[in-house]
Structure formats: C-alpha cells, structure tokens
Amino acid sequence: MADKSQAVVCSIFSVPLVNGVNNGTVNIRPTRRPVNLAAVSASYPPGTCFPLWNDRNIHYVFPMSIGTPPQWFWMSVDTGSSDIWVPSINARGDVLNAAIPRPFRINYGTGAAEGLRDIDNISFSGLKIEQQIFGEGLFAPGEMFNYPFDGIFGFGFQVMSDTDKLSTPIDNLFNQRQIVRRLFCTKLYHTLGSAGGEMCIGGCNDQAQFWKPISMPGFWQILMSRVDIVTTAGATTLTLCPNGCQAMFDTGMGISGTTADRMDAIAATVGAHYDNYWQLYISTTQTCDIGFQVMIYQTADFLLGDPFQRKMTVIFDKDNSQLGFANIQP
C-alpha cells in the first residue's frame, strides 16, 4: 500500500530555464511552440467564450499575450492554482522589476515553479487585465519541457495565490469591468486539437442543472454524498464514502485521484492492476490507464481532474461560492 502511494507522488525538483540577460524590460521567454499565436487568438470570436486546445486529453490550453508589443504564450487552464506565470529568459536570479523584488514559489503535483514577480498588461480572447502581477519562472518542473504549453493561468481563490493574494486574475477581470460576474465554466471534450474544449468567463452558455456549495473556503471543493461504481447495466458494484467525502475539481490534472485504500478498491472492482514499471493502474481487459491514480491531498478525499470533468460542463461561481453542473451542450 505504502509503496504504491510513494510510487506516484512526485518529488519537488527544479531545473534552470534558458540563460538570458536582464535588459530592463519584461524578461519573459517567447513561446516554445512554432505557432503564430497572435493569428490563433485573432481567429477566436470576441466575447467571453473561447476555444481550448486539447493535447492528448491531458492538457487544455489557450493563447495569451503579455506587454506591448505583445508576447504570446500557450497557457494551461488550472482551477487548482491561482497565479499566472510564464517562463523567464533570465535564469540568474536578477531582480526583474524594482517594484516587485520578491520571489515566488508555486507547488504543483509534478514539482514547483519558482522565480520573481513582475507586472504588465495581459490579454486573451478580447479580455484585458491591466497591471496584472504574474510570475516570471526561473525554475519549473522538469517534465514541463515536454508539455504543449508555456505557462499556467490559475483560476483559483486568493488563499492559493503566491504572487498576489489581494487580487487573483478573475478578481481583476471583475474589478476592471471586463466581466460582470466572477463566474466561469469549462467544457472539456475528447476531441483532440483546436476544437478540444471551450471556456466561458463572466458567464456560461449552459444552464446548471444543480448546484453544490463550496465546502472548503478558498478551494473549488464540494461535499459528495457518496461515490458509486456502476456497471453499464446500472448495477452498483462498489460504494465508497457512504457518509460523504470531499472532492476538489482541478482542470490542471490530466488524471483523477484518491487515497491508496480507495484506489485499491476501485481497481479491484473495475478489473485493473497496478503496473510497477509504468506506475499506473492498468485495465486487465484493455491495455489502457483507467484515469485514476493514488493521490494524497490535505483537504480532499478525491481530486477530480479532466477525465471526470469531461463528462459535464462545470460552472465555477466565485460570487456565490458554489459549483454548478450541466450536461455538455456543443
């Protein structure tokens, strides 16, 4: 049991990004992807809803620019964090902005992003945040070099922010009258590529069929009444948390997870085994990852990532501290 848990929990480590010289301007490194992101962004319809690019059903990204003239980046949608950060070209640790000399460090499941704070205007999909504090990453998790995005855009609460606890990006959009509500929704599709999903900010074009109140202030977390494993014929084969359990919704995770004891029960029920080489739970009848792994999170019993959220539209309502759920409408 303990070995399985340890096998999938990544240690926090850092590797330097590209060396550069601080020339007094914003020292963010241009996107590593050979795509004209300005043209991609211009092709998106103006308004609060915009497409998400789906890479292998693991990451959902969108183009964002910083500064004048704009520098473009692919940004990963992450409801499990509250900061914006992009790679820096300066890996020597120089102060990038005299007004904000403080460092930042953001811990993720795959490692930690570290660097220094900066401030500039940020734009995406016709929306603009003036003087947004963000991080210039000097160090990042090593495997992020293989990711199809450059930085992370956090849509969480202030309590999780390391760059600016006074105003998160969603708060700044509201305070600067770019949106009328601190509410957004995500639709994560199985379709790969440019039509891989949709995000709406300031509203949602799907109506919630039911709402659940936030159970842990500061996190997109709710209390689930129970968890059932049900066959295609409708028979319940396993019930977990009969008295309820806490579940966090995190779009930044390409898998879902729970504790080792619950994971063993799920695997036994659905016919999966733990593969020590791949460090994944593999279906016995189909050679595939079942999308659930062992995770230990201090506030939640379940972390529900993209595989779970692809089943529905999830509406994140900060104004009313609640999560809404609806059937996905194309």
Return the active site residues: 78, 250
The C-alpha atoms of residue 57 and residue 19 are separated, in whole angstroms, by: 32
CA angle (81, 158, 296) in 5-degree steps: 40
The C-alpha atoms of residue 272 and residue 279 are separated, in whole angstroms, by: 13
Q: DSSP code of 320?
A: T
157-181 core/surface letters (b: 16 or more CB in 10 A; e: else)? beebbbbbeebbbbbbbbeeebbeb
Q: Return the amino acid letter for 37.
A: L
The C-alpha atoms of residue 53 and residue 312 are separated, in whole angstroms, by: 17
The C-alpha atoms of residue 40 and residue 168 are separated, in whole angstroms, by: 26
How would DSSP label each residue in 187-232?
EE-S--EEEEEEEEESS-SS--SEEEE-SSTTSSEEEES-EEEE-T
The C-alpha atoms of residue 43 and residue 191 are separated, in whole angstroms, by: 19
User: How many C-beta atoms surround the C-beta of residue 218 within 10 A?
Assistant: 15
73 in Cβ contact with 62 (< 8 Å)? no
Phi-psi region of 259 (alpha: psi -120 to 50; beta: other; left: phi over 0): beta
